[in-house]
Chain A
C-alpha cells in the first residue's frame, strides 16, 4: 500500500464514490474500502472527508440510503446509486476522460 498521500479534489472524490457504488450498495466504510481497492491503494479516504461527500451526494439525489443489517448483524446505513446517479456517473466519467486527454496532449506538446 502506498504511503504517498495524494490530495484528492472534491469533484474526483464524487466520481470515485459513484464508481464505487456502481457495482452495488455499500455502507460508508465499505465505500472507503472499495475506493482503496479500485485505486489500488492510491486513495485511502478518511471518514472525515467521506461522510460529508456521501451526504452531499445523497441530498443531490444521486444516492439513496437505507438502514440494513450488516455483515456482523449490526445495523448500518447502506448507500446505493439512483438512476440519476448512474447518469451522473456516466457524464462525469466522460468529462474526466475529456479533461485527462486534453492535459495529456498539452504535456506531450
Chain B
C-alpha cells in the first residue's frame, strides 16, 4: 500500500477523528435512506421499507465498527480508547488504585535508586572516546596484595620504550589546595597530571585549551579547571580562560576548562583543578621523587593501540618495569623486592581503581537482589488484588465474550489497564528513585561536601525502570486477563468458590510475603541494635558539644616555624570566643577519617623489645589542654604546657595500656633510645583511637608545639555551650582575625563525625528497616485483600450463620482463624530463613549474636501485630454483615 496516502489517512483519522466519525454516520444514514427509497419505489409501505432496509443494512454499530477497524490507525485509537476506559475504571475504585500504585511505585523507585547508584559506582564507563581501550597499572607481590600507586622512574621509562600504547599518563592527586581567585581564597581539590593526560583520554576543552606535553616542564605555572568547578566558582564565565589565580600563594594561569560530564578517572574522587606534574616543584616543599625507584606515589593509566590486547601490553610493560627495578636495586634486599613484584594491567573502561567502588560494590549487588525480590512480591501482590477485582468483573467480561467480543480484544483491554497502572507507578517510581539515590549517596559518603558522583538520570536507568515496570505489568496484568477470559463462562457466572488450586496459590503468596518481611525485619532489628551498641560504647572521651575544624597554615603560604606559631596564635584567639568552654588542637581527631598515625616502640624504660616483639603504637600530636577538653582523665603526671618548648627536653604522654609495658611507674622513665628518646611525663586513660569500633590500643601523645615545624594539618577542638551555629560564627571570625589567608575545612561536630564514621552501619539499618517495613506493608495489603475477597465469597454462609444466631465475635474469629494459619506458616518459615540469612551479615554486627533474642522477638511481634490489624478489618466487616441483605443477594 502506498505510503503517503496511508500516512495522510492516519493523520486524518487521529487528528480529525470526530469529523471522520460524523462523516461515516452521515454516509450510513444516507445509505439507509436510499435503501428505503428504493423499496418504496418497488411498492412497499414506508414501515415495511424501513424494516427491510434495516435488516439489509444489518447491525449498524457492527458495520461502523468494521469500517473503523480497517482504518489506518485503528489500533492506535483502540489503544487510546482502552487507556481512557482503564483510567475511568481505576478512578472508580480509588482504594485499590492507590494501594496498587503506591506499592508498585515504592518497589520500582527503590530498585531504581539502588540501580542508579550501582550504575554510577560500578557500571558506568568513563565519558571519553573508546573507554574500552584504557588500561590502568598496578603492581603486586607474591602474596597477592596490589599497590595502585607506582614509582615515577618506571613511568618515564615505560613512556619512552613502549610500543603497544597509544598514550600513557600519570596522575597524582595532591588533595587540598587554597585556590585564590580575585583575592578570595577557597579550598579546592587539585591533581597533578603528566603531559599526555588529556591527549590519551582524547578530551576536547570546553574553553581555551587543555594541558599538553609542552606544559609538563619545570616552571610552567598553568592550570586547567574541571567543568563543574568552572560552573561553580566562575559561574561559567568565558573570562575564566586566561584568568590569573594562585594556588597556596603561588601564581598560576588558567588556560582552559575540561569538557562537561568528565569528572576525573577515579569514580568517587573528582578534582577541581589540574596542573602539570612538574609543577610539583613549585607547590611542594619536599624533594620531588622523580628518580626514586622504590617510592610509590603516582597512578598510571594508558590507552592501548588498536588491535593490541591487554595481555600483550601487559607483557611488554612488565618487562620494562622489572628492568627499571633491577637497574635501580642496590643490594640483595632491594633486588629481591624487585623480583618479587610484578606489574599488572587491567581494563580501565570504568575508570581507575576506586575506593568507593571497592567499598560498596558487593553491598549494592546484594541490595539489588533483595529489592528485586521485593519488587517481584509487589507485582504478585498487585496481581492478587487484580485477580480478586477480576472476580467482580467476571460477569461483565463473560457477558461481553458471549456477545461476540474477541478474546484478544478483551485481553488487550485488561492489559492496557495494567499498563496504565504500571505507567503511573513507573513515572512515580522514577521520581522517587531520583530523590532516593541522592539521599542514599549522601548517607553512604557523608564526608564529602558535595556528591562525588554525578547521579544523572542516564538513559540506561530510564530503560531499566521502563523494563521493570513493563515486567511487573505483564506479571500482574496478563495472568488475570488470560484467566478471566478463559473459555469457561459457565462456571464463572456461577461464582463457585473460585477453585481450590487458586485458593492455595493465594495463601502461599501471602505466607511467603510474610516470611520475607520477617527476615528483613529481623535483619533490620539486628542492624539497629548494632548501631545502638556502637553508639553506647565507652570511647574513653566525652562526645557531646565538641566542634571540630581544620586549617592548614601552609595553604596560606606559611613556611617553617611560622606554621606552629600560627596555630598557637589561633588557639589563643579561640579561647576568647564566647561559648567556648575549652579549646585545644590535635592532628588526629577523636574520630578520624583522614589521619591514622602508627609507629613502633623498641625501648620502654629499662625494657628492650627486639624487632619481632616491638610494640606497635598509634600516636597523636596534641596541643596543651587536649585531654581536659575531650574529657580524657589524666591518671598520673601532667599535661603538656608552656614548659615543653622546642628547646626543652623532648617529652611524651602515654596511654594506660602503653604504661603497662613499663617496669613500675612510667612517669619519669624514657621511651625509645638515643637522641630521639623522650621522657614520659603523664599517663592518660585508654581511648578508642580514631574509630569508635576499634578496641583500645597503645597510644603515644607528642606535644604539638615542641616541634619546629608541622607537616600534618591540625584539627582544632572546641567544647562549647549554647548553639553550635552561634559558636561557629564566632569561630569563623576568630580564624579570619588570626590570618585572613586561613581557610577552615572539615567543620563538623564530634557527634556528627562519629555518625559519619558509622555510615555503612547506618545505611544498612536504614535500608533494611525501610525495605522490611515495605515488605510488611505489602504482606498486609495482600492479606487484607485476600481476606476481604474471602469474606465476599462467603457472604451467604456468614449471613446464614448470623441468622442462626452466631454472635459478631464468633464471626470475627472465623475470619481471623482463616488468616492465622497463613500468617503462622509464614512466620515460622521466616524465622527459619532468618537463622540462615543472618549468617551473611554476621560480619557487620557488633556486640550481638546473629540469633539475638530481642531482635527476633520484636520483629516477630511487629509482624504479628501488623498481620492481625490487616486481618481484623475484613473480620469486622464480616461481623457487620446484615443477614437479610446477605441471604437476599445471590
Q: With A51-B63, A59-B9, A60-B5 known to touch, is A29 a contact of B71 (CB < 8 Å)?
A: no
Chain B proximity mask over A10-31: 1 for CB below 8 Å, otherwise 0:
0000000000000000011100
Q: With A61-B6, A77-B27 known to touch, is A55 a contact of B70 (CB < 8 Å)?
A: yes
Given contacts A55-B71, A77-B27, could you give 20 more A-B pairs where the C-beta distance is less than 8 Å?
A28-B27, A28-B31, A29-B31, A29-B35, A46-B56, A47-B56, A47-B58, A48-B62, A51-B66, A52-B67, A52-B70, A59-B5, A59-B6, A59-B9, A59-B72, A60-B1, A61-B5, A74-B33, A77-B26, A77-B30
A76 to chain B, nearest CB (A): 5
Within 8 A of A (CB), among B20-59: 23, 26-28, 30-31, 33-35, 37-38, 56-58
B69 contacts A52, C-beta separation under 8 Å = yes
B2 contacts A47, C-beta separation under 8 Å = no
Name the residue of chain A whose CB is nearest to the CB of B57.
Answer: A47
Q: Kindly list chain B residues whose C-beta atoms are within 8 Å of the C-beta of A70.
A: 30, 34
Within 8 A of A (CB), among B49-108: 56-58, 62-63, 66-67, 69-72
Q: Kindly list chain A residues whose C-beta atoms are within 8 Å of the C-beta of B63.
A: 47-48, 51
**Chain B, interface size: which category?**
20 to 34
Interface pairs (18), CB distance under 8 Å: A27-B30, A28-B27, A29-B31, A29-B38, A47-B63, A52-B67, A52-B70, A55-B71, A56-B70, A58-B9, A59-B6, A59-B70, A59-B72, A60-B6, A72-B34, A74-B33, A74-B34, A84-B2
Measured in the bound complex, the distance between the Cα atoms of B716 and A95 in whole Å is 96
Within 8 A of B (CB), among A48-81: 48, 51-52, 55-56, 58-61, 67, 70, 72, 74-77
B15 interfacial contact with A, CB 8 Å = no
A76 contacts B30, C-beta separation under 8 Å = yes
Name the residue of chain B whose CB is nearest to the CB of A77.
Answer: B27
B4 interfacial contact with A, CB 8 Å = yes
Measured in the bound complex, the distance between the Cα atoms of B1 and A56 in whole Å is 10
B-to-A contact residues, CB < 8 Å: 1-2, 4-6, 9, 23, 26-28, 30-31, 33-35, 37-38, 56-58, 62-63, 66-67, 69-72
Name the residue of chain A whose CB is nearest to the CB of B72.
Answer: A59
A52 contacts B2, C-beta separation under 8 Å = no
Measured in the bound complex, the distance between the Cα atoms of B1 and A60 in whole Å is 6
A-to-B contact residues, CB < 8 Å: 27-29, 46-48, 51-52, 55-56, 58-61, 67, 70, 72, 74-77, 84
Q: Kindly list chain B residues whose C-beta atoms are within 8 Å of the C-beta of A72.
A: 34, 37
A101 to chain B, nearest CB (A): 26
The list of the 5 closest CB pairs from A to B, nearest first, reads A61-B5, A59-B9, A77-B27, A76-B30, A52-B66
A76 contacts B34, C-beta separation under 8 Å = yes
B56 contacts A59, C-beta separation under 8 Å = no
Residue from A48, A59, A61, A72 whose CB has the most chain B CB atoms within 10 Å:
A59
Q: Kindly list chain A residues whose C-beta atoms are within 8 Å of the C-beta of B58.
A: 46-48
A48 contacts B5, C-beta separation under 8 Å = no
Measured in the bound complex, the distance between the Cα atoms of B790 and A19 in whole Å is 64
Name the residue of chain B whose CB is nearest to the CB of A53.
Answer: B70
Q: Kindly list chain A residues whose C-beta atoms are within 8 Å of the C-beta of B4.
A: 61
Q: Kindly list chain A residues whose C-beta atoms are within 8 Å of the C-beta of B9.
A: 58-59
B57 contacts A74, C-beta separation under 8 Å = no
B2 contacts A61, C-beta separation under 8 Å = yes
Measured in the bound complex, the distance between the Cα atoms of B35 and A27 in whole Å is 12
Q: Kindly list chain A residues whose C-beta atoms are within 8 Å of the C-beta of B33.
A: 74
Residue from B1, B27, B37 whose CB has the most chain A CB atoms within 10 Å:
B27
Measured in the bound complex, the distance between the Cα atoms of B33 and A77 in whole Å is 13
Name the residue of chain B whose CB is nearest to the CB of A74.
Answer: B33
Name the residue of chain B whose CB is nearest to the CB of A56.
Answer: B70
A29 contacts B34, C-beta separation under 8 Å = yes
Measured in the bound complex, the distance between the Cα atoms of B9 and A60 in whole Å is 8
Name the residue of chain A whose CB is nearest to the CB of B32.
Answer: A47
B67 to chain A, nearest CB (A): 5
Q: Kindly list chain B residues whose C-beta atoms are within 8 Å of the C-beta of A74.
A: 30, 33-34, 37
Residue from B4, B31, B35, B62 whose CB has the most chain A CB atoms within 10 Å:
B31
Measured in the bound complex, the distance between the Cα atoms of B74 and A52 in whole Å is 12
Measured in the bound complex, the distance between the Cα atoms of B67 and A36 in whole Å is 22
B1 contacts A75, C-beta separation under 8 Å = no
Measured in the bound complex, the distance between the Cα atoms of B1 and A55 in whole Å is 14
Q: Kindly list chain A residues whose C-beta atoms are within 8 Å of the C-beta of B56.
A: 46-47
Q: With A28-B27, A47-B56 known to touch, is A59 a contact of B71 (CB < 8 Å)?
A: yes
A33 to chain B, nearest CB (A): 9
Measured in the bound complex, the distance between the Cα atoms of B27 and A47 in whole Å is 11
Task: Report which of B35, B66, B71 forms a contact with A48, defined as CB distance below 8 A.
Answer: B66
Measured in the bound complex, the distance between the Cα atoms of B265 and A60 in whole Å is 57
Name the residue of chain B whose CB is nearest to the CB of A32.
Answer: B31
Measured in the bound complex, the distance between the Cα atoms of B37 and A72 in whole Å is 8
A51 contacts B30, C-beta separation under 8 Å = no
Q: Kindly list chain B residues whose C-beta atoms are within 8 Å of the C-beta of A77.
A: 23, 26-27, 30
Q: Kindly list chain A residues whose C-beta atoms are within 8 Å of the C-beta of B30.
A: 27, 70, 74-77
Q: Kindly list chain A residues whose C-beta atoms are within 8 Å of the C-beta of B37.
A: 72, 74
B31 contacts A47, C-beta separation under 8 Å = yes
Measured in the bound complex, the distance between the Cα atoms of B73 and A56 in whole Å is 12
Measured in the bound complex, the distance between the Cα atoms of B63 and A59 in whole Å is 17
Q: Kindly list chain B residues whose C-beta atoms are within 8 Å of the C-beta of A58.
A: 9
Q: Kindly list chain B residues whose C-beta atoms are within 8 Å of the C-beta of A60.
A: 1-2, 5-6
